[in-house]
Each structure stands twice: as C-alpha cells, then as structure tokens.
Amino acid sequence: MAADAEKKSDASGKSEDGVKVAQELESLKWVRERRSIREFTGEKISDEHIELILEAARHAPSPENMLMMRFIVIRDDQDTKEFLADLAQEMAQTAFGGAPFELTSGRNWFISDPYRAAVYARLRDGELFRYPEKSDTVILVCASEAWHDAGYLYPNSLFGSVVCGMAIQNMWLVATELGYGCGYEALVCSDPRHAQLIRDRVGIPPIWEPLTAFCIGKRVSPRALGPSRAPLEGLMYEERWGRPYTRLAFREDK
C-alpha cells in the first residue's frame, strides 16, 4: 500500500499504473461545479448548444434500451413558460407558506443573517420558483411504465423516472461545461392535479407521466457553492450496512 501511495501522475493525468487520478478527471470537475440555478437573464442560447445538451440526454442508460422517456422542448411558447411558473409558485406557497421560519432556518445555516430571512421569504411566497418563465429552454421530462412490449409493467419508481434522472444529469453536466445554468423544477408536477393541467396543455398522452420542468438558461450570476457535502464515511458503507467506508488515505497498510 505504501508503495502504491507513492506513485505519481504523469502529464496526461494518469498514475503509473494507468489509472486516472481524481484531480485530473474532467467529468468530476463538472460534477462538483454543477449548481441549481433559479435566476435566469432570459437571453437566448444558440440552437447548436441546446442541441448538444439534448444529445446528451438520449445517451442515458435505459433497461433493455427501451428508452421509456420523452421530452417536450419549449423555447418559443412564453405563455406555457409563464403557466409553468404559476404552477410552481402556487405549489411553493402550499409547501413552504405554512412552515415557521425556524423549521427551515436550521437547514439553511450556511446562509448568513440577514440574508437567510430574505431567502426564506422568497420561499414562502413562491417567487423563487418562477424561473421557468425566464429560462431559454424548458424541457418537460416524461416517463412511462408501459411503453414497451413486455408482459409486465416497469414501475417508474424503478425504471422510467430513474432513466429520466440520468438523462437530466447528462444534460446538466453538458450545460454546466458550456457555461449555462440549470434548474430542476419538480414543483410543477408535485401535485397530480397540476400534472394533469400540464398534460392537457401540451397534449401528453395518459400513458406518459410528466415528472419535471428542467430549465436551462443564462445565469444572472454564478451561484456560490453551498455547504460541503457529507464525507464518504457519512454516506457509504463497506460490504454491509453500518460499516463506514474508509477512504484510501486513511486505510492502514496491510
């Protein structure tokens, strides 16, 4: 182990045994820099860049290559963007409007006073979640449990929504690398009654379930990094539940 720890990286970012080191992984850089953006300028993005982002979605993993996902790409229909913003604001008022400040302030400990109270006020009135109306592109992401010829359903909780989530992550990372911001606007579909309104407005068939409005646009400003994530030891177990993962740097030589 000690000898392995002493291996150095060459100019290509590879260690002596050919394994890429974490500091040199471009993909990990974009994973770490990805942030949820909720304020967009409304400026247009080039068609070529949007198509690159969409191209990333279709390469998402899918069980048996069934691709139980569909995307409605909304760019020019401003009325629908504002409609989605209205739904998001209404749901935010329901979700956050009745909660006391103390309930959420602890979770947002990394926002210093007096800004924390102002941020929470925007949560309560839902204004923070109106960003679909200022996005260049809003993608309604839909999944299906039955868009295949198998003799049983593939539940969205295990398949369709998971496939869509991986497609969204692909798009998010490409958009981040291109310098754009993204926001995952789940509030628009959180209430099944709102989801039905969306179906009716854009003609989504009953077999497909709208999951979210994924928003892409030019950021008003880069969002500051939030609190650091929990360490690997706090999220991962080795071999069985309850045995914390030990990072390489802290493993004892054997």
> Residue 212's pLDDT is what?
96
Q: Determine the average pLDDT of the residues in 161-173.
A: 95
Half-sphere exposure of 140 (CA within 13 A, CB side): 22
Positive or negative, the Cα torsion across 45, 40, 56, 208? negative
How does the average pLDDT of the chain come out, rounded?
85
User: Does residue 167 surpass a pLDDT of 50?
Assistant: yes
Q: Determine the average pLDDT of the residues in 19-25.
A: 70
Q: Does residue 138 contact residue 85 with C-beta atoms inside 8 Å?
A: no
Q: Determine the average pLDDT of the residues in 221-247.
A: 84
Element (H, E) at 185: strand 181-185
User: Does residue 159 surpass a pLDDT of 50?
Assistant: yes
> Residue 9's pLDDT is what?
47
Map out the domains of the chain as residue ranges. Answer: 37-219
Find the angle CA(148)-CA(149)-CA(153) to the nearest 5 degrees: 65
> Residue 2's pLDDT is what?
40
User: Does residue 161 surpass a pLDDT of 70?
Assistant: yes
Q: What is the pLDDT of residues 84-119, one digit of tens each?
A: 999 999 999 988 877 666 666 666 666 777 777 777
Positive or negative, the Cα torsion across 199, 202, 206, 211? negative
Q: Which two tokens stand for residue 19?
A: 């394994």
User: Does residue 198 surpass a pLDDT of 90?
Assistant: yes
Q: Which CATH number fits domain 37-219: 3.40.109.10, 3.30.70.20, 3.90.550.10, 3.30.470.20?
A: 3.40.109.10
Residue, of 119 and 39, whose pLDDT is higher: 39
Q: How confident is the model at residue 82 (pLDDT cuts 50, 70, 90)?
A: very high
Q: How confident is the model at residue 136 (pLDDT cuts 50, 70, 90)?
A: very high
From 120, 124, 55, 64, select the one nearest 89 (Cα to Cα): 124
User: d(Cα 95, Cα 72) in Å, to the nearest integer?
Assistant: 26
Q: Determine the average pLDDT of the residues in 57-70.
A: 89
> Residue 170's pLDDT is what?
96
Q: In the chain, which residue ranges form alpha helices assigned H by DSSP? A: 2-5, 26-33, 47-57, 78-96, 101-105, 115-125, 160-178, 192-202, 232-235
Q: Which two tokens stand for residue 42?
A: 């409304």
Q: Does residue 164 contact residue 129 with C-beta atoms inside 8 Å?
A: no
User: d(Cα 170, Cα 71) in Å, to the nearest integer?
Assistant: 14
